[in-house]
């Protein structure tokens, strides 16, 4: 078939195209690998400190264990909130509306470490118990449990059960702390590296497959012909409105069914655009990928140097 013969005649130009794109792709992969190594080096230094600070291990946590009705009793039985006992205290965290009414409330267990830093180690949202701006107090209730009451009269209180077991808790206030800037740079660098990899995909596609495909023309009728007008086949599916340049796989058009005048060519064997277009787009995408990788590498190395120097 003459179509196959045309592919053999273009072997020299095909090799040249592959050499050009392969050189660009090799440079891109080298820069991407260096960027990955730089990001991994920064991550190994920054992430352990970030996890230890933003997800610390607490001595215990706090859980809800139902509700209880309280009776008037000795006021000395109540323990004010924020009373420190062996480095553990309970704090009332509220959200107020514009008119001063409490719309959300939570009892938070706060632990104080040896270095003096405090951590939020679990909390219980107060739902049915009434909460006022005046806060409330804790009352011992059974073994190892407390009841939070908004006042000291007959009232339904929330039963709080401290669980003394090592548990990690997220410290939301520390996520965006200045000391965690290297970790933020790691995340931004990973995002840039992901975008760079996506941009480099077109280079991989053209260097491994499309560089060996032949240029052809796709007509509005669906016929695919060579530049000389020789028919190759008919594309399966919808055809474009106008005649466009396409790339056709070397295996396309070799199998002809008996009852068809021209072979059907699957859309997977056809790529829109000429070699010049694909080559320009591929080189532009690879250039963008290298730029993003270099940016991620530079930021990672600067953050790593600052971290190592204690800045």
Q: Which pLDDT value is given to residue 112?
A: 87
Tens digit of each residue's pLDDT, the chain (311 residues) = 444 444 445 555 666 666 777 788 888 889 989 999 988 988 888 888 889 888 889 988 988 877 776 665 555 567 777 888 888 888 888 776 666 666 677 888 999 876 678 898 988 887 644 555 555 677 777 767 777 766 545 456 777 888 888 989 989 888 888 888 888 888 888 898 888 888 887 778 887 788 788 888 888 888 888 877 788 888 877 777 778 888 888 877 666 554 566 778 888 888 888 888 888 888 888 889 999 999 888 888 888 887 777 65
What are phi and psi for residue 207, nearest 5 degrees? Answer: -70, -30
Quick one: pLDDT at residue 7? 44
CA distance linking residue 76 with residue 196, whole number of Å: 66
pLDDT score for 68: 72
What residue ranges do the domains of the chain occupy? 2-52+177-308, 57-169
How confident is the model at residue 291, as a pLDDT? Answer: 92
Question: What is the distance between the alpha carbons of residues 31 and 37, in angstroms, rounded to a whole number?
Answer: 10
Query: What per-residue confidence (pLDDT) applies to 215?
Result: 87
């Amino acid at each position: 078939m003459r179509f196959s013969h045309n592919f053999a005649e273009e072997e020299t130009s095909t090799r040249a195209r592959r050499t050009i794109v392969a050189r660009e792709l090799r440079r891109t992969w080298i820069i991407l690998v260096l960027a990955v190594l730089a990001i991994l080096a920064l991550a190994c230094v920054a992430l352990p400190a970030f996890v230890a600070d933003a997800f610390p291990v607490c001595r215990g946590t706090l859980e809800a264990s139902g509700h209880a009705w309280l009776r008037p009793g000795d006021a000395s039985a109540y323990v004010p909130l924020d009373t420190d006992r062996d480095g553990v205290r309970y704090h009332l965290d509220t959200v107020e509306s514009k008119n001063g009414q409490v719309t959300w409330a939570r009892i938070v267990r706060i632990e104080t470490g040896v270095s003096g830093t405090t951590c939020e180690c679990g909390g219980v949202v107060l739902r049915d118990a009434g909460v006022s701006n005046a806060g409330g107090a804790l009352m011992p209730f059974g073994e190892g449990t407390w009841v939070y009451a908004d006042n000291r009269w007959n009232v339904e209180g929330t039963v709080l059960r401290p669980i003394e077991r090592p548990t990690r808790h997220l410290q939301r206030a520390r996520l965006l702390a200045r000391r965690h800037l290297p970790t933020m740079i790691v995340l931004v660098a990973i995002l840039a590296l992901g975008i760079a990899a996506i941009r480099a995909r077109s280079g991989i596609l053209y260097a491994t497959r499309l560089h060996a495909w032949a240029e052809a023309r796709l007509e509005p009728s669906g016929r695919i012909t060579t530049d000389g007008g020789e028919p190759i086949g008919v594309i399966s599916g919808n055809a474009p409105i106008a005649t466009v340049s396409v790339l056709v796989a070397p295996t396309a058009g070799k199998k002809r069914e008996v009852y068809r005048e021209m072979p059907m060519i699957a859309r997977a064997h056809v790529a829109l655009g000429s070699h010049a277009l694909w080559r320009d787009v591929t080189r532009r995408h690879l250039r963008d990928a290298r730029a993003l990788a270099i940016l991620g590498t530079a930021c990672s190395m600067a953050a790593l140097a600052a971290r190592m120097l204690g800045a």
